[in-house]
Amino acid sequence: MNSDPLAPEELQLFRTRTTIIVIVIALIFSLLASRLWYLQIVMGNENSERSLGNRIRLIPQAAPRGVIYDRNGVAIADNRPAYQLQLIREDSPDLERTLRNLSKALNIPHASLLKKLEDHRHQARFKPIILEEDLEYKKAAIIETYQEDFPGISIVVQSRRFYPHNKIAAHVLGYVGVRNEEQKRKLSKNQLSSGQIIGQASTELIHNETLIGTDGGKQIEVDYVGRELRIMNKPVAPVPGRDTYLTIDTRIQRFIHSIMRGESGAVVVMRPKTGEILAMGSFPNFNPNLFAAGINRKNWNRLMNNPDKPLQNKAIQGTYSPGSMFKLVTAYAGLEQKIISPETTYFCPGYYNLKGGKASYACWKQGGHGVVDLTKAIRESCNVFFYHVAVEMGVDTLHDYAQKFGFGVKTGINLVNEKSGLVPNSDWKLETFGERWYAGETPPVAIGQGAVSVTPLQIVNFINIIANNGKVIQPHLLLEKESEFQNLDLNQEYLELIRKGMTEVVNDPHGTAKGVRSKIWTIGAKTGTVQVISKKTRKTLDEEQLKLKKYQNHAWVVAFGPVEDPELSVAVLIEHGKKSSYAVPFAKKIFDYYIENYYLPRRAALNDLESQPLAQRLQAAFQ
């Protein structure tokens, strides 16, 4: 069948359209060719590098945190396995069925599992979703045993901080937590994975740099969306953090926790000759395990809203008036300034009237102590004797001696946020209040009241100076550290007089700490009762209010022994203990525990060794 030939006009239109189509196609292929040339030639090297970066990845592996041990090698901050429950949706053909099985087997609300999925709905299906951070071991075992019933579900074992003794030494150890951005910037590149959880307080924070390990890792090949295909090369093992050994003795620490149960305050137990802290407790305390996986809001609010401040380390951060313990500073200053001598006496009628003034200052004992010399003043804690000394000396001189004995300055212990306390003088008052110092403000300072404030650690450090014949040694918690003595060039005769008074505080029938007396050791001590509210405030309260615990006085005692060769020093502060006699039995128990469990067994072992023939003793010594 023949068709009619195209008219010339139609033929021309067809040719024009064909030419346009050819030109358009040519342009498109030209653009594609130029783009291909640009990507392969101009951007070839860069795209090749990007492709390689997408194909090979380094997966870091976190190192376990270094373990913290006590002086005897007992782990007090360790690591434990944490079983993380993960879901990879891509590996679960029937996701809803998997979740139902999981909810039923592990007793996890189905709704909470669905919420976890909803929170990660934009995440790639091959990426793991963490359903539980720290699954119980029994539940993890169920998943591992019946894995076929939970497609897409896996258990990933991670290292988590663990405090095996719970609250014991919590304020010394501190706790760990998730790092913030500022803390992240301080980490080296090979600690970024291991340092996701870092120390946030006390020893965990101070030694964080060495406790954090070095990351390991593996090189893997992934596809274009990041799915792992295979492991490249040999994985690099992570290097655990360095272990730390403290001077703390867990047995003594546990004992002071047992006797302080239900109390609020602080206890410090030290070796005077070495500066080693054997125990440091702040009460009430807390369980650092609460922080290991990230503390929840309920527990955080409970700790923060507790009026007894369980998170505060009262041994170094709590500042209190020292009360009568400060009289030892006044005594030494008075002797060295020649205001008093060993023979000086004052008459105590139960009060002291400032010359030229109307103010009257009471002694704690109604009716007074009668004629008092220095030894009796220390033994029976006579206020009036020390009023006389301080007023004649002046507050500025007293301040200088107090600072020499370590008050008003930090001890330098290797813990964070230590407080320096305060010993007032005329310059301090002028700078703080813009007023001059009045003579009537000096008597309270003489007996450790008024604006004077100290920490329990400063108190035991001060007593160590007296016990060590005027040598000061910095208290420390790190076992490998050796502190050096600094000789304060104090008068030995005056120190001996003060030690004599402290010995009578314990061993004389009229002493204020006779309850600390030991049949084995000669112990010296000083007590203190500290007013919490002023007499003026007390007059504004009714009888029911005055019975409230928060208005009761604090109770102090500090002691060391044996006096002849000091081996142990102890400071006990009981908040709102009413009077110093309340704190005395606590110190007694600590000395008895140490003598029975450390001193006597050691002496028995030495006696056994000495009773052996010389050859056996030499052999034992070499072994």
Active site residues: 324
If phi over 0 gives left and psi between -120 and 50 gives alpha, with beta otherwise, what is residue 3? beta
What's the rounded Cα separation, in Å, for the pair 387 and 353? 9
Q: Could you tell me if 468 and 275 are in contact, meaning their C-beta atoms sit under 8 angstroms apart?
A: no
Nearest to 558 by CA among 253, 315, 273: 315
> Which own/partner pairs from 135-144 qualify as long-range (CB within 8 Å, at least 24 positions apart)?
135/83, 135/84, 135/85, 135/106, 136/83, 137/83, 139/83, 139/105, 139/106, 140/83, 140/85, 142/105, 142/106, 143/85, 143/105, 143/106
Q: Rounded to the nearest 5 degrees, what angle is found at the Cα of 176, between the Cα atoms of 170 and 181?
A: 145
What's the rounded Cα separation, in Å, for the pair 436 and 454? 23
User: Do you know the residue count of the chain?
Assistant: 623
What's the rounded Cα separation, in Å, for the pair 283 and 308? 8
What's the rounded Cα separation, in Å, for the pair 193 and 58? 12
Contacts (Cβ under 8 Å, ≥6 apart) of 190: 214, 215
Q: Could you tell me if 8 and 14 are in contact, meaning their C-beta atoms sit under 8 angstroms apart?
A: no
Nearest to 253 by CA among 481, 506, 69, 420: 69
Q: Could you tell me if 271 and 278 are in contact, meaning their C-beta atoms sit under 8 angstroms apart?
A: yes
Give the amino acid at 562: P
Both structure tokens of 373: 């010399």
Contacts (Cβ under 8 Å, ≥6 apart) of 414: 206, 476, 477, 478, 481
Both structure tokens of 56: 């090979």
Both structure tokens of 92: 């679960």
> Which own/partner pairs from 478-481 qualify as long-range (CB within 8 Å, at least 24 positions apart)?
478/244, 478/245, 478/246, 478/247, 478/414, 479/71, 479/245, 479/246, 479/247, 479/276, 480/245, 481/414
3 state DSSP class of 367: coil
Q: Is the peptide bond before 613 cis (omega within 30 degrees of 0)?
A: no
DSSP structure class, residue 358: -
Q: Could you tell me if 170 and 288 are in contact, meaning their C-beta atoms sit under 8 angstroms apart?
A: yes
Q: Are strands 68-69 and 244-245 parallel, antiparallel or unpaired?
A: parallel
Q: Could you tell me if 203 and 174 are in contact, meaning their C-beta atoms sit under 8 angstroms apart?
A: yes
Helix axis angle for 95-106 and 110-119, nearest 10°, is 130
Nearest to 397 by CA among 318, 321, 337: 337
Where would I find the H helices in 241-394? 250-259, 289-292, 297-304, 314-317, 327-336, 374-380, 383-393
